[in-house]
Amino acid sequence: MKLFNLSQQHIIPAEEADPVSLAELKEHPEAYAVALEPDESVEALRPFLAQITLVVLHFPIFRDGRAFTQARSLREYEDYKEEIRVTGHVLPDQAAFLRRCGVDTVVLSDDDDQTEWEAQLKRFTITYQQSIAS
Partner 1 sequence: MKQPVGHYAYESRDREFLQERIAEFEDQVKRRLSGALSEEEFKPLRLMNGIYLQVHAYMLRVAIPYGILDSRQLRKLAHVAQRYDRGYGHFTTRQNIQFNWIALEDAPAILRDLAEADMHAIQTSGNCIRNITSDEYAGAARDELMDPRVHAEILRQWSTLHPEFTFLPRKFKIAISGSPEDRVAARFHDIGLLARPSENGPLFRVFVGGGLGRTPVVGQELFDSVPEAELLATLEATLRVYNAYGRRDNLYRARIKILVQTIGIEPFREAVKAELAKMDLSHYRLTPERVAAIRARFAAPELHAVDDADAVLAQHQKEDPDFARWVQSNTHPHFDEGYSIATVSLKTPGDIPGDVTAEQMDGLADIAERFAFSELRVTHLQNIVLGHVRKDQLYALWQGLKELNLAAPNIGLAGDIVSCPGLDYCTLANARSLPLARKLGARFGDARLQEEIGALSINISGCINACGHHHAGHIGILGVDKRGSEFYQILLGGQAGDHASIGAILGPALSEDDAVAAIARIIDHYLAHRNEQESFLEMVTRLGKAPFKEVAYETV
Q: What angle do CA 11, 17, 18 make, to 5 degrees?
A: 160
Which segments of the chain are extended strands (E)? 2-5, 20-21, 33-36, 54-59, 83-88, 105-108
Q: What minimum distance in Å lies between the beta carbon of 54 and partner 1?
A: 21
User: Considering only CA atoms, which of 81, 74, 79, 32 is closest in space to residue 57?
Assistant: 74
Nearer to partner 1 by C-beta: 32 or 116?
A: 116
Q: What minimum distance in Å lies between the beta carbon of 18 and partner 1?
A: 27
Q: What minimum distance in Å lies between the beta carbon of 13 and partner 1?
A: 27
**Contacting residues toward partner 1, per CB under 8 A:** 41, 62-66, 68-70, 72-73, 76-77, 91, 93-94, 96-98, 100-101, 113, 116, 119-120, 123-131
